Every structure is written in structure tokens, then in C-alpha cells.
Structure 1
Amino acid sequence: MNKLSLSIALLTLWFSASLLADSYQRQSPPRTLTAEQAQRAAANYQKYCSLCHGKDREGHANDHAPSLRSKSLMESGIPHGILRPLNYGREGTAMAGYLDEVGGPLTLDEAWDLTYWLFWESGFDRIKLSEDKVEGKIQAGEKIYQQHCASCHGENGEGITAPALGNQSFLAHNKDEFIRYAIEQGRQGTPMQAYGELLSADGIDNVTAFIRSKASGWVQQKMPLRPIPTPDQYVQNPDNDNPRWQLKDGQFIDSEQLYSAMQAKNKMVILDTRVPSVWQRAHIEGSIPFPYYSNLADKVKDLPKDAQIVAYCSCPRAASVYLVDQLNNMGFENTAVLYEGIFGWMNKGFPVTRSE
């Protein structure tokens, strides 16, 4: 294909995509934020979200966290498509719930402000999506899904390099039309292309119906919160010796090493660097919630320098490495990071303490 033909083809695709987007009804924009609310929301984004979603909302900084400036997401996902996973997380993924009532650091007002800040930063209009069920042929949709989607989203929607579409909280929180719109329009700035010109309307309906068929009636439960350990509970087996480990790359241990040290009752402090809401759901026994966004100047006074410190997260190590690097710079030398993270720990069959 010569340059002229390629340019015409790209222009045609762009024009067709524009017509598809313009076929949707536009909504009035959400409420504006005061200067104070916007400033606080921007600071909260950098503190809580940028580690995985990127400092400029570009996505995929860690754990395949999606772009939060993609046009199709921001115009179709405000407010609830963004607010719900922010508040309650994505069970079975590294995305934790950040709402205070499930153990996170944000009030509901702060979560709303962060959602609206993301929208206003994107600069796009809102569209109105139908509440109606998308009718499609599930078996036909599965064939298309396996051909075009499975390599990134997984054969059963479990997520590989792209979000888990079979995740029950995702399916419970998002309407059919939200899923359909993402397929049709793609996610700009990510490998997710727009399928509006590659598949027929019926084909997109069929894929949507197949993805929806993965739902199994997941319902958000209000979880009783267990008490956060106090500093006098941080050190396990304080009268015993520290474990003697050979660290990989000077920083990492594996699950077998940690479990052996726990069985030997070595002296350790185990830090769960995730959001406390997921510590509440499941954590390695004896670990304490010590989120990656902590103000360490306030918290390190409770950490002993003579005990072995082990940190873990679920992404599988971005947050724990981020926190341990800071501890090292503050003079803590007895540190290690669980290389596989808690999901790797669980997949190897090692035990966790679950919510009460």
C-alpha cells in the first residue's frame, strides 16, 4: 500500500469512528470542582493511583492498570464506571477498594471528586448509554472473542495483559452498553483497538452477550472489618533470630523462603503494602497493613531496625519495591520483597488469613 492509499484508509477509519461516536446522545457535563477540590483530587491521584495508572493517567505503569485518559472510557464511564471500581476495587485483581467504609483511605466525597477530576482532565464530553440489555448470540460471540480478544483478555476473560472481562465485580457494576461501547470504540492510547469497523453491529452484540454470560450474580457484600494491628504486634517472634536468606538481586525472596521462616518462627515484620481494604479480605498471617502511600515519616518510628522486614503486594511487587526502596533510604537494611506477591503465594498453595 502506498502512502496516499494508507492516508485515505486511515482517514476513512477516523471518519467512520467519528460517525459512530456521534450517533450516541450527549449528556450534560458533571458538576465542576472548586479549585480546592481539584487540587485535593490531583494530589490524591498522585498519591494513590499514579504508581499503577501512571503519573499522567497514561495507564500500564504497573499491573496492566488501564489508561484513565482514554477518550472512550472517560466519555462513557463517568461517573459510575470509574467510581465503583475506585470505591470497591476489582475482586481477584490488584485493584483494591479505596473507600473508607471498606478499609480504604478516601471518603465518599473525595472519591467523587477524584472521579470528576479525571473527567475534567480528559477534556471529553459525556455520552449517554442505554440501560437496555444487549441481545446477541453467545456461541457466535465466543468464536469472535477467542479470535480477537483472548490473547490479551484471556480465554475465559481472566485477563492476561488486558483487564479481566470475566471479573464478577466488573460485570456487576457495568451495563451491557458500556461493554459494547468499549468494543466498538476501543480504548485510545492503549493496544485495545476500535472494532466498530472490523466487526458488524451484530458481531459486536454477540461478543457483548458472550462477555455478559460470564456473570454469575456477584453481589457486593459489606465486610466486617478486623482490628488493625497495633505497633506492639508488629514483630513476630521477637525473642528469636532473624531468618538467614540469600536474596535474589539483593532484594527478593520467594514464597518457599518466607513460609519456611514462618514455620521456623523467625523474627520478622511482614508488611502488606496494599490498600487496607484488601488486607481485610485476605492477607499473609501476621502481616500488618502498611500501604505504599503511607507517610513514612509518621510510621517508621514503629518499625524496628533489628528485625527482618518483608514486604509484599499483589501487582506482584511494584508497591512493595516502591516502599522498601524508601525504607532503605531511611536506614532500614534488613529488608526483603516477596517476589511473587500475594497472588503468587496463594497460587503456590500457601495459606492466607481471610476476613472474619
Structure 2
Amino acid sequence: MTHRLVVRTALLLLIGGLTRVTAAQAPPAAPSPASRPPAVLTDEAARRAGDNYQRYCALCHGRDREGHVNDHAPSLRSKSLLESEFPVLGEAIGYGRQGTPMGGYLDEVGGPMTRQEIGDMLRWLRKTAAVEAIDMGNHSLDRTIGDATRGAAVYAQQCATCHGTKGEGGTGTALGNAAMLALTPDRFLRHAIVNGRQGTPMPAFGGVLSKTQIDDVTAFLRSRSTGSAAGKRTLRTPPALADAVINATGRAPEFGELKEGRYLSAAALDRELKAKRRMVLLDTRVTSMWQMAHIEGAVPIPYYSRDVTLAALPRDGTWIVAYCECPRAAADSVVKRLREDGGFKNTAVLYEGIQGWVSLGYPVVAGDATKPAATPAKP
């Protein structure tokens, strides 16, 4: 769906080498979120950016930007990424990346950050890592001349172990995102392949592959691009917490013993939802992800929400089930807060997360008010 065009920060962090695009080269288009950070990062803006990083990013990327704390989220210290200046990184933070736990943090898609705040964060990351931006040349949008068929063979031999045979990701970031490839210049891809990404398992292939092989792999990745473009979305207003109880007149769910005293299986949750049991479902991802798709009846309560969550939830023993896409890190943090700070006892975390939920065939609905519900068939 074109309205779900997203580009995940994690990919960009893997293939760091963002290319500067001059005004003469840039195609006429609406400004990208945070594509040009402000010329000067003031001390106050840097402080706010650091606070925003800890609030929104540290859960997965690490408090010190070390990466791989949750969901293989890459390091944000990479010189090969942070020395670059191509606007795709702003797109990734702003709009997230389809099919991954990276949601969109731009307020225009339901996230908590303005364009200015995203731009400040980009500059703060570069400043914190003491990395200067570089100019990668005047032909950043030129297509690489290579053989995609030969490139597929090189990819299978050199890349698939980490990035997946179909680009689905693993130790390395997923590379099978056609929408991302439509926005990414070839020099950006080549820079990552040649230079790798410092401090991560991604090595530099400049001394391993020939120039022709690198061109071929780049052409192979390019061949998977669809050229899709983002469309305008109409956001649905999330339900109020006062209306969070599902099946208010139903009986309490019978979940049985929770794994490690906390985790609930997708099968058990689906069974109790079908039985019309009374409960609260909390979608703890950034709200833009709820807008894309969520378990029906779930209320978006992002993991970075604080006192409002505790104050508005029912205190009559109603079960509260939280889920995220990590598959558990964000939901774990919310449930821990509910238990330790709020005294809520009947709480659980969906063990498989929403991606596991969908992969197992359980239904979700779209948050986008312009689209019908999407209900995958249960096998």
C-alpha cells in the first residue's frame, strides 16, 4: 500500500553512507522529514535531542547508541552512517520501515516528534559521535551499471547468511524492502558494501569483492525496487483509555499459567478474545504503527507514555495485556511499570508480539481510516 511507504532507520544504519544531494539535483517534491537538519545545533536543542533519544530510541539502540539491545537494532555510532547527509535517514526516523519493529516517529503519521526535533536528533547523533559530514560527489542519483543476475549469485554467497536469502534480515538488517530501495541512491548502497559499518558485524567488502561484483550486487538490489511513493494518509483518532475495556460485560479471561509469570501465547489470547472475555489490550508501539495495523480493540499506549497510562486504566482487577513488535521489549517495559509503579497485578505480555501474531494467521485491523480492515486467514 502506497500510504505505508516506510524506511527503517535500522537499514540505513547498516548501509551507512548517505549521499549529499545538491539543490540542482534534487527532484521537485515536498520536503522530507528532517532531510536538512538546522545549520546550528544549539546547546538547548542538543539537550532536548539527547533526551528524545533516551526516551524513544535507547530501548532498542542502547543508551549509549551501541546497538543490538533489542531486535537487532543497529548501532548509532557508525562513522560510515553519520558522516553522510542523504535525507533517507530522516525519512527512516520520520516514517519508520515497513515490516519491521521500526515505526514512524514523525507527528504527521502519529508519532511524537516534529520535523525540527528529528533534524536536531540527526545533528546530535553526528555531534555526539564527533563525525563530520562528507561530500560524496555530484552524481549521487546515477544508476550503477551492473548485472543483476550475477549480483544475485554474489548476494547468495556473501550476503544471505546475515541478511536472509530473500532479504528478510537476521543478524543483518532486512534488505528486501522495495519501497526503501526506491528512495535510496546507488552510491548509498555501494558505500555501505565497500566500507561496511564500523563496530558491527557488517564488514567492508571493498577488499573482498571486485568493483564489478559490487556493481552487480548493487544492480541486484536495485532490481527489487518498485518505485512506490508515499500517499497522503487520513489518521484515525485512537480510542480513549476510558473506552479501553473490551467486552465490558464478559467474564474474566482464563489464560492459565503465564510463562515466566508474564508471557501469554498468541493462541491463548486469540482463544479468550473469541470467547468475548473482558480485558484491556495495550499496543505499546509508537502510535504510527497502531495506525498501520493493530489487534482489534487495542488502545495505543506507546512505551514512552508515563503517568497518564497508570491513571486512566481500570483498577478493578481487569486483565491488561500489552504487546509490541520487538517482539517483547516495549511491552515488557510497560508491564513492568504497571506492576511496580501502579500496583497492577493482572497483567501480561503477548509473547510472540504482533508480528508473530500476524505470522501465525491471527487477525489485525487497519488504523488508517481510509482503508478497510485487513484480516489474515487463520490456517
TM over 0.5: yes
1:203 to 197, 213, 222: 213
Query: Could you tell me how far 1:93 is from its partner in structure 2?
Result: 0.7
2:355 to 326, 334, 343: 343
1:236 to 234, 242, 246: 246
**CA distance in structure 2 between the aligned counterparts of 1:262 and 1:160, rounded to whole angstroms:** 32
Aligned to 2:8: none
2:190 to 177, 180, 185: 180
Counterpart contact for 1:33–1:113, Cα < 8 Å? yes
Counterpart contact for 1:242–1:268, Cα < 8 Å? yes
| CA distances 1:146-183 after superposition (whole Å, capped 9, x unpaired) | 11100111111121221111113321332111111000
Task: Say which SS state the counterpart of residue 91 (structure 2) adopts.
Answer: helix
Q: Does 1:31 align with 2:39?
A: yes
**CA distance in structure 1 between the aligned counterparts of 2:310 and 2:38, rounded to whole angstroms:** 41
Q: How does 1:317-356 map to 2 (within 5 A)?
A: 317-330=328-341, 331-354=343-366, 355-356=368-369
Query: Could you tell me how far 1:252 is from its partner in structure 2?
Result: 0.6
Aligned to 1:110: 117
Aligned to 2:203: 193
Q: How many pairs were matched up?
A: 330
**CA RMSD across the alignment:** 1.8
**CA distance in structure 1 between the aligned counterparts of 2:48 and 2:355, rounded to whole angstroms:** 32
| CA distances 1:123-145 after superposition (whole Å, capped 9, x unpaired) | 12222232211111111111111
| CA distances 1:12-33 after superposition (whole Å, capped 9, x unpaired) | xxxxxxxxxxxx99x9x97230
**CA distance in structure 1 between the aligned counterparts of 2:133 and 2:48, rounded to whole angstroms:** 23
Counterpart contact for 2:179–2:227, Cα < 8 Å? no
Gaps of 5+ in 2: 1-18, 23-36, 370-379
Query: Could you tell me how far 1:212 is from its partner in structure 2?
Result: 1.2
**Letter paired with 1:35:** D
Gaps of 5+ in 1: 1-23
Q: How does 1:69-84 map to 2 (within 5 A)?
A: 69-76=77-84, 78-84=85-91
Q: Does 1:46 align with 2:54?
A: yes
**CA distance in structure 1 between the aligned counterparts of 2:180 and 2:193, rounded to whole angstroms:** 15
Q: What is the TM-score of this pair, normalised by structure 2?
A: 0.84
Runs of 4+ in 1 over 4 A off after TM superposition: none
**CA distance in structure 1 between the aligned counterparts of 2:216 and 2:294, rounded to whole angstroms:** 39
Query: Could you tell me how far 1:79 is from its partner in structure 2?
Result: 4.9
1:263 to 256, 263, 274: 274
Counterpart contact for 1:79–1:116, Cα < 8 Å? no
Query: Could you tell me how far 1:231 is from its partner in structure 2?
Result: 2.4
**CA distance in structure 2 between the aligned counterparts of 1:173 and 1:289, rounded to whole angstroms:** 29
Q: What is the TM-score of this pair, normalised by structure 1?
A: 0.89
**Letter paired with 1:154:** G
Aligned to 2:32: none
Aligned to 1:58: 66
1:124 to 122, 131, 142: 131
In our comparison, the structure showing a higher alpha carbon Rg is 1
Task: Say which SS state the counterpart of residue 41 (structure 1) adopts.
Answer: helix
1:315 to 318, 326, 341: 326
The structure in which a higher percent of residues are helix is 1
**Letter paired with 2:206:** G
Q: How does 1:280-319 map to 2 (within 5 A)?
A: 280-295=291-306, 297-305=307-315, 306-319=317-330
**CA distance in structure 1 between the aligned counterparts of 2:144 and 2:112, rounded to whole angstroms:** 36
**Letter paired with 2:263:** F
**CA distance in structure 2 between the aligned counterparts of 1:37 and 1:30, rounded to whole angstroms:** 10
